[in-house]
């Protein structure tokens, strides 16, 4: 097995990336709409949150709050601000809760497959088992929505040595698991290429409230989002960036958080030079208008190293 590879590239030395109409940043809003099982398959006795043995009632019910209450508050904010989204989706949500599927489909949200349930990470999966999961997800997406998804984000950011090659073989165009850049970037597998999209694990309410600052308030998270945006917006004047805002309805959909997050998103949307786009729109523009220049640049860099 050969390792998936991506070439080293200093972002300041790349050809300038220009988004549509000269936008500085592509604003990519990614709600993570998830479901955790009451007692997951292959749970091994402990919950994914590592809080307690199953059934982990507190973690299960907190996350279910997102699908019962939180997501509907988030829909209100998204509709008010007219924001396009790409949903990082456990497909089990669409299977179990058709009202959520209908709401996402009416808003024409892109689907990034996040596995079936977020309580089933793929760590330790054999190649055959992981392939079966990806194939099942593609078939289920076509059955539920009439189309295949274009993006992948493994449940719990889990991964195997086969993941990149299997995604390429399945025809998936981009994935969110590798967080090494502020622009889309090609990753080479054994039999082709896939694009790593710059997903955020820091400007992310799940990491912020669950891991880094469990006692912080909504205003603290909103300040982080504005600081993150401001830096990329400034840098985007010369080299376009992707601003990824990763949200979880069971967190930001709480009454004490939703207004602060709404204000942070409104702050971003009021700036000139902000292109709010779905993952599919970002990939399509980047591939048509920028990838050929990037390839030529990377080839030049490789030749200079060999000379």
Partners of residue 112 on adjacent β-strands = 88, 151
Return the pLDDT at 306: 74
**d(C-alpha 61, C-alpha 251), whole Å:** 12
- Could you tell me which residues come within 8 angstroms of residue 280 by beta carbon, excluding any fewer than 6 positions away? 86, 110, 150, 151
**d(C-alpha 160, C-alpha 138), whole Å:** 19
Three-class DSSP category at 249: helix
Burial readout 21-60 (b: 16 or more C-beta within 10 A, e: otherwise): eebbbbbbbbbbbbbbbeebeebeeebbbeeeebebeebb
What are the pLDDT digits (tens) for 158-178? 999 999 999 999 999 999 999
49: pLDDT confidence band, cut at 50, 70 and 90? low
**d(C-alpha 2, C-alpha 147), whole Å:** 32
Select from 220, 298, 277, 306 the least CA-distant residue to 13.
298
Give the torsion through C-alpha atoms of 86, 257, 101, 31, to 10 deg: 20
Q: Are 262 and 79 in contact (CB under 8 A)?
A: no
Q: Is the pLDDT of residue 100 over 90?
A: yes
Select from 1, 26, 40, 61 the least CA-distant residue to 156.
40
Q: Which domains does the chain have, with CATH numbers?
A: 25-306 (3.20.20.370)
Return the pLDDT at 220: 92
Q: Is the pLDDT of residue 17 over 70?
A: yes
**d(C-alpha 42, C-alpha 35), whole Å:** 16
**d(C-alpha 15, C-alpha 171), whole Å:** 28
Q: Is the pLDDT of residue 48 over 60?
A: no
User: Worst-scoring range by mean pLDDT, 55-59, 91-95, 159-163?
Assistant: 55-59
Average pLDDT over residues 180-199: 96
Per the model's pLDDT, the better-predicted residue between 115 and 206 turns out to be: 115
Q: Are 276 and 83 in contact (CB under 8 A)?
A: yes
What are the pLDDT digits (tens) for 244-285? 999 999 999 999 999 999 999 999 999 999 999 999 999 999
Q: Is the pLDDT of residue 200 over 50?
A: yes
Return the pLDDT at 289: 97
Average pLDDT over residues 290-300: 95
Q: Is the pLDDT of residue 116 over 50?
A: yes
**d(C-alpha 138, C-alpha 9), whole Å:** 33
Average pLDDT over residues 207-227: 84
């Amino acid at each position: 097995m050969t390792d998936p590879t991506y070439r080293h590239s200093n972002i300041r030395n790349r050809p300038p990336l220009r988004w549509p109409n000269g936008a500085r940043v592509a604003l990519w809003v990614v709600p993570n709409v998830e479901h955790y099982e009451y007692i997951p398959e292959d749970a091994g006795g402990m919950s994914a949150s590592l809080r307690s043995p199953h059934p982990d009632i507190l973690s299960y019910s907190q996350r279910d709050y997102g699908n019962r209450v939180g997501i509907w508050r988030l829909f209100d904010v998204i509709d008010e601000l007219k924001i396009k989204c790409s949903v990082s989706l456990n497909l089990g949500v669409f299977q179990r809760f058709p009202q959520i599927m209908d709401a996402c489909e009416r808003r024409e949200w892109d689907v990034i497959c996040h596995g079936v349930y977020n309580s089933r990470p793929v760590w330790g999966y054999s190649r055959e088992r992981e392939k079966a999961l990806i194939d099942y997800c593609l078939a289920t997406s076509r059955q539920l929505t009439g189309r295949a998804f274009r993006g992948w984000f493994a449940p719990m950011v889990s991964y195997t040595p086969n993941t990149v090659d299997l995604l390429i073989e399945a025809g998936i165009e981009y994935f969110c698991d590798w967080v090494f850049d502020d622009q889309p970037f090609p990753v080479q597998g054994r039999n082709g290429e896939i694009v790593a999209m710059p997903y955020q694990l820091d400007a992310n309410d799940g990491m912020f409230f669950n891991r880094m600052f469990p006692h912080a308030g909504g205003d603290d998270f909103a300040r982080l989002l504005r600081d993150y945006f401001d830096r990329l917006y400034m840098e985007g004047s010369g080299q376009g960036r992707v601003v990824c805002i990763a949200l979880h309805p069971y967190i930001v959909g709480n009454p004490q958080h939703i207004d602060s997050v709404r204000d942070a998103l409104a702050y971003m949307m009021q700036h000139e030079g902000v292109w709010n786009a779905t993952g599919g729109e970002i990939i399509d523009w980047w591939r048509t208008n920028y990838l050929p220049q990037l390839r030529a640049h990377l080839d030049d860099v490789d030749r200079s190293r060999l000379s």
